[in-house]
């Protein structure tokens, strides 16, 4: 007759199902880890439970047992394991119980051959030893499941030794509950130490049927587990540490980006200061202080390129003819014009071609329009100021070489009139320009 012990079997199966559902809901990927493994072990089989309960025999002996299992690691913390165990269970009444009671059972000894003990177990990794290590070397676990045990008891009575159930193998349900620890030797091999208590749904294991309680046996073992496949073992991988490392990397990247932004702000402030210093015109005569040879001229005074009062000659109307040679002089100046990076300072290699433009303006009394342009790097306001400053810088240089300041118009358009794409370095280089228009 089956006892009430296995009325709890649906609860165990429900627990296994709940664990499987939890696995399905976990978003972790296992593609890069080893998740299948096999294990072999050997140890001690004892027909009792050290956790308490009634024992039918006073002297329960320890016998050799051995087993193997196949395991599928579904997440870092949960796996399903199919276990098989074989061996012998022995006991007798050659000693008194700890209470001093002397056994008076009709069966004085038993020797049970455990033909098989097969069970499906849910294994839960309790925690990683070091929560800040992505790969741990030690893992504690607990297991619970359900299965079937088949055994043949041989009993000794006053009449002699005999088979308890004849040549029949008794098969009964079992509930195994266990704990253990694994030690990773390499990515493919672990040392496995464990202890499992098996609760039997019956009172036939020791050949002494009383019907009031269930038999039980425990298996303490040591063995090796072999992880199959390639990569790290999922069971020893710590997702908490991996998430922490990712968060730390993101924080460091954000700090580095903030540092770059602060440096760019400082550079922009320096550029604005230099531009303001370059364009400063205290007397408002249109000639920057750095090029003004006559500072402090009264407001409204017409000055020459050096900032000195200009005697305006009688206006002579003449026809302006721009030849192809004139255009080549201007084209060469545009081609050779270079500024310091993010500044309006003209590089010295540009002076020769600008000198020829200045000479042309003086000889033929041309008017010249200078249009400064930039790429789209930086803010709109900053680019507009830089393009205006560069056009003004070219004007100032031409005036310093004798050109008439009143015949030169300097305008900045910023990034608003690109002639090439700003998506490439070559395109941005073409957009950073000052256009010369003779008329």
The pLDDT tens digits for 416-435 are 999 999 999 888 888 888 89
- State the Cα–Cα distance between residues 219 and 67, nearest whole angstrom: 10
Would you mind telling me the total number of residues written for the chain in this entry? 439
Q: What is the band of 16 on the pLDDT scale with cuts at 50, 70, 90?
A: very low
Percent of the chain with pLDDT over 90: 48
Beta strands in 270-334 (DSSP E): none
Whether the pLDDT of residue 29 is over 70: the answer is no
Q: What is the pTM of this model?
A: 0.51
- 346 - beta bridge partners? 339
pLDDT of residue 20: 42
Residue 260: strand, helix, or coil: helix
Cα 10 to Cα 22, 47, 146, 249, 276: the distances in Å are 18, 25, 10, 47, 84
pLDDT of residue 172: 95
Q: What is the band of 269 on the pLDDT scale with cuts at 50, 70, 90?
A: confident
List phi, psi (to 5°) of 112. -105, 125
pLDDT of residue 45: 96
pLDDT of residue 306: 80
Q: Among the listed ranges 149-163, 213-227, 335-349, which one has the minimum average pLDDT value?
A: 335-349
pLDDT of residue 308: 86
Residue of 49 and 220 predicted with greater confidence: 220
Residue of 262 and 227 predicted with greater confidence: 227
Residue of 284 and 61 predicted with greater confidence: 61
pLDDT of residue 23: 40
Which residues touch 384 (CB under 8 Å, ≥6 apart)? 412, 413, 414, 415
Mean pLDDT for 77-87 is: 96
Whether the pLDDT of residue 46 is over 70: the answer is yes
Q: What are the b/e assignments for 352-378, b being 16+ CB within 10 Å?
A: ebbebbbebbeeeebebebbbbbbbeb
pLDDT of residue 314: 61
pLDDT tens track for 131-152:
556 677 899 999 999 999 999 9
Whether the pLDDT of residue 162 is over 60: the answer is yes
Whether the pLDDT of residue 295 is over 80: the answer is yes
Percent of the chain with pLDDT over 70: 86
- Report the mean per-residue pLDDT for the chain: 85
Residue of 300 and 119 predicted with greater confidence: 119
pLDDT tens track for 389-406:
999 999 999 999 999 999
Residue of 384 and 250 predicted with greater confidence: 384
Whether the pLDDT of residue 3 is over 70: the answer is no
Q: What is the DSSP string of 391-412?
A: HHHHHHHHHHTT--GGGEEEEE
Whether the pLDDT of residue 5 is over 80: the answer is no
Q: Which of 101-110, 304-313, 327-336 has the highest mean pLDDT?
A: 327-336
């Amino acid at each position: 007759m089956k006892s009430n012990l296995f009325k709890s079997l649906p609860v165990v199966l429900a627990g296994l199902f709940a664990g499987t559902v939890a696995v399905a809901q976990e978003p972790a990927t296992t593609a890069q880890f080893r998740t299948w493994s096999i294990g072999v072990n050997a140890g001690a089989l004892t027909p009792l439970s050290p956790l308490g309960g009634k024992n039918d025999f006073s002297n329960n002996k320890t016998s050799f047992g051995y087993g193997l299992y196949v395991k599928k690691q579904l997440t870092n913390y949960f796996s399903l394991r199919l276990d098989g165990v074989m061996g012998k269970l022995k006991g007798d009444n050659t000693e008194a119980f700890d209470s001093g009671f002397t056994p008076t059972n009709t069966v004085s000894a038993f020797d049970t051959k455990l033909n098989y003990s097969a069970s499906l177990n849910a294994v839960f990794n309790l925690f990683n030893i070091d929560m800040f290590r992505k790969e741990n070397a030690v893992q504690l676990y607990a297991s619970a499941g359900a299965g079937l045990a088949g055994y043949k008891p041989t009993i000794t009575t006053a009449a002699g030794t005999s088979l308890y159930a004849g040549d029949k193998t008794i098969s009964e349900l079992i509930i195994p509950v266990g704990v253990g620890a694994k030690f990773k030797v390499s990515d493919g091999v672990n040392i496995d130490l464990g202890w499992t208590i098996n609760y039997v749904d019956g009172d036939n294991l020791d050949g002494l049927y009383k019907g009031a309680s269930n038999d039980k046996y425990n298996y303490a073992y040591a063995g090796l587990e072999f992880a199959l496949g390639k990569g790290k073992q999922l069971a020893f991988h710590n997702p908490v540490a991996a998430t922490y490392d990712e968060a730390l990397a993101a924080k460091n990247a954000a700090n580095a980006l903030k540092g770059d932004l602060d440096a760019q702000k400082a550079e922009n402030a320096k550029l604005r200061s230099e531009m303001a210093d370059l364009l400063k015109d205290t007397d408002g005569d249109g000639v920057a202080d750095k090029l003004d040879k006559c500072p402090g001229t009264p407001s409204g005074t017409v000055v020459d390129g050096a900032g000195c009062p200009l005697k305006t000659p009688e206006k002579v109307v003449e026809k302006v003819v721009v030849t192809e040679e004139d255009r080549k002089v201007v084209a060469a100046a545009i081609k050779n014009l270079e500024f310091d990076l993010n500044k309006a300072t003209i590089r010295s290699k540009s002076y020769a071609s600008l000198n020829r433009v200045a000479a042309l303006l003086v000889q033929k009394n041309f008017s010249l329009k200078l249009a400064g342009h930039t790429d789209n790097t930086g803010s709109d306001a900053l680019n507009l100021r830089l393009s205006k400053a560069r056009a003004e810088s070219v004007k100032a240089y031409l005036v310093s070489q004798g050109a008439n300041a009143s015949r030169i118009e300097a305008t900045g358009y910023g990034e608003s009139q690109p002639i090439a794409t700003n998506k490439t370095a070559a395109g941005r280089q073409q957009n950073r320009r000052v256009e010369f228009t003779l008329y």
